[in-house]
Amino acid sequence: MFFKNKIAKQVDTSPTYWEYVKRQFAKNKRALYASYVVIVLLFVAIFADFLANDKPIVMKYNGEWYAPVLKEYVVEFGIGQWPKEFINIKWKDLETDAELWPLIRYKATTQDKSIPQYAAPMTEGNNGQHFIGTDKLGQDVAAGMIHGTRISLSVGLVAMSIAFIIGVFLGTLAGFYGDDKFQVSRIRLILNVCFLPFAYFYGFMVRSFVLSEAISTSIFTFIIQFLLSLLIFAGVLLLPNLLTIPLKKIKRFGKKVNIPLDILLTRFIEVVVSVPVLVLILVIIAIAKPSIYNVMIIIGLVSWTGIARFVRAELLKIRQLEYIEAADALGYSNMRKMFRHAVPNALSPVFISVAFGIAAAILVEAFLSFLGIGVPVDTITWGKLLNLSRSNSSAWWLAIFPGLAIFVTVTVFNLIGEGLTDALDPKLKK
């Protein structure tokens, strides 16, 4: 027993890399407090319907208990319907046995016609239920701020999730294969190049009208049609790859050809970077049906270049390390070496880019909403509330609170990005 305890004391108890990162991040008090603010914002975004709603959270009616807020989710997803007695009713006038209301008894789009336009906070014209005032339609600003939190964080997180997937995938291909490791047979290259115009023609040119109609209908319809076009595109390219199987047995055709994948993807990244992002977003939004989902996807599709560059740079270093060479010696496939061994060790700088990217996406969405572009009329966002202050300069609360929310949210994500930059810097490790 004595020897076992002695051996146990000799076990290495040094912190892991991510434990070290966590400890370094905690030393940055500004970044740490910023992360607490983000947690609060996420809580508000997730439970927005329970914080501001024109329906009770739970109520007892005619001896039965109901949860109208949860029922609303069921109805919106199309898996249920409202009982007949709750269709087209005023929930505030409903006589119940017991009820629990949200903190704010209004939705972002609920109009209170019992008060004058632009009711300021804490004034006689305000009925005491609108904590930070109303707009010109009598809509509660506090409810708009709460539901706007969900919109802003959703745009930032969804957009950067899309950018993360695209950037990591293309950056991995460019960095891992470089210009000398991606090889295909000569016949495979020739046949794929010959069939590529046909695949594009049948996949996208023939269906261009369908795709244009889909993008003007809804983003989900467009995604379905776009995936169908990709399926046709891949189906046409499947034919030359099947023909390659017997033909590559011929010595002349079966010879391997090197493809400089790194330089091709790098030039593609440079082309995307050279396109003015805001102009591209405005052009796409102008031809698409207004939808907050369109905004999320468009921002994500143009925000991946920085992530791709970070991953590429890291992979160019990692592919030369000993554990990748050991994986080569063990005969692991390239996919396993890339996504199981190389990519997890290349994501440290990507998290920094994602944190700054979320702040940038939220700022772009606020800018578009301020201009009234890309967001449906019935969707309340911080930028739209800020825009309402232009029509009445005396309605200071429509400028102060949304502007402060945008400033705080963008700032905390930038502070988190700075904190991650310091925490992930190996030069600071002692």
Q: What is the pLDDT of residue 124?
A: 57
DSSP string, 352-382: HHHHHHHHHHHHHHHHHHHHT-SS-TT---H
Query: Helix (H, G, I), strand (E, B), or coil: what is residue 219?
Result: helix
pLDDT in tens, 255-286: 888 888 889 999 999 888 888 777 777 777 77
Cα distances (Å, whole numbers) of residue 256 to 1, 178, 249, 253: 62, 16, 12, 8
Give the pLDDT confidence score for residue 11 in this predicted structure. 47
pLDDT for 181 equals 80
DSSP 56: -
So where are the chain's domains? 17-53+106-182+260-430, 54-101, 186-258
Give the pLDDT of residue 153: 92
Backbone phi, psi, residue 374, to 5°: 85, -10
Give 113's DSSP letter.
Answer: T
CATH fold for the domain made of 17-53+106-182+260-430: MetI-like fold (1.10.3720)
pLDDT for residue 125: 56
Highest mean pLDDT among 44-53, 58-67, 253-262: 44-53
